[in-house]
Every structure is written in structure tokens, then in C-alpha cells.
Amino acid sequence: DVKVTQSSRYLVKRTGEKVFLECVQDMDHENMFWYRQDPGLGLRLIYFSYDVKMKEKGDIPEGYSVSREKKERFSLILESASTNQTSMYLCASSPNREAEDTQYFGPGTRLTVL
């Protein structure tokens, strides 16, 4: 079974803090994604990566950065956390295969910024 793990299930930080969210997958997938999920807005893509050291902006990259130094690990960084970044953060991975869009999600990190 594909396993995607995230470093924390719940996290509380203060405004202005630098926040690191870590995601690790164990299936040698090429693609990795970071989403945030808010009520009524669905899942919105923040950043994705299709290879080590490669990254592409998603739909809402402002206020975030990412790092992919190893294939299995994709980190989301909030340089200076703000209250509007309080959300559920979901990491996902997928193989780079044609005619297949299956994404495997981690359990999520619920981040609260005070």
C-alpha cells in the first residue's frame, strides 16, 4: 500500500513564526503536491513538484514556499505565518503515468495560527 505521512496532525503557531510542514511518501512517486482545504472551497493547490529540486506554483502560492531535496520528501514552508493561513494542509503524491491521475493523500495537518 502507498503510504503518505505528514509530520504532524495538529499544529498551533503564532503569527510571524516560520512553519515547516513535512511530507514523506514511500512509493517512489515522481509527483508530489501540497493543498489546503477550507470549508466550502474544496482543495486548492499551493505547489507541486514533478521531480527532485523541481517545483511549480499552484493556484494559491502566495505566502508559501516549498522544498524537494529528496524524491520521497516534499516540504511546505510558511515564511511568516498569518492567521489567514489557518487551514487543513494535505500532501499528496502520484506516479507519473499516462492515463492515470490517482493521487494518494496523507492524513493532513490542521494548522492554527494565533
Partner 1 sequence: GQSLEQPSEVTAVEGAIVQINCTYQTSGFYGLSWYQQHDGGAPTFLSYNALDGLEETGRFSSFLSRSDSYGYLLLQELQMKDSASYFCAVNSGGYQKVTFGTGTKLQVIP
Chain contacts with partner 1 (rule: CB under 8 A): 31, 33, 35, 40-45, 48, 50, 56, 58-59, 90, 92, 94-96, 99-108
Cβ at position 76, least distance to partner 1 in Å: 16
- How far, in Å, CA of 52 to CA of 74, rounded? 9
Cβ at position 41, least distance to partner 1 in Å: 6
Q: Which one, 83 or 102, has the nearer CB to partner 1?
A: 102
Which of the 8 DSSP states describes residue 18? -
Whose CA is closest to 36, among 103, 86, 93? 86
Q: Which one, 41 or 79, has the nearer CB to partner 1?
A: 41
Q: Which one, 7 or 50, has the nearer CB to partner 1?
A: 50
- How far, in Å, CA of 88 to CA of 28, rounded? 25
> How are beta strands 10-13 and 109-113 bridged, if at all?
parallel
Cβ at position 27, least distance to partner 1 in Å: 13
Cβ at position 75, least distance to partner 1 in Å: 19
Contact between 87 and 36 (Cβ < 8 Å): yes
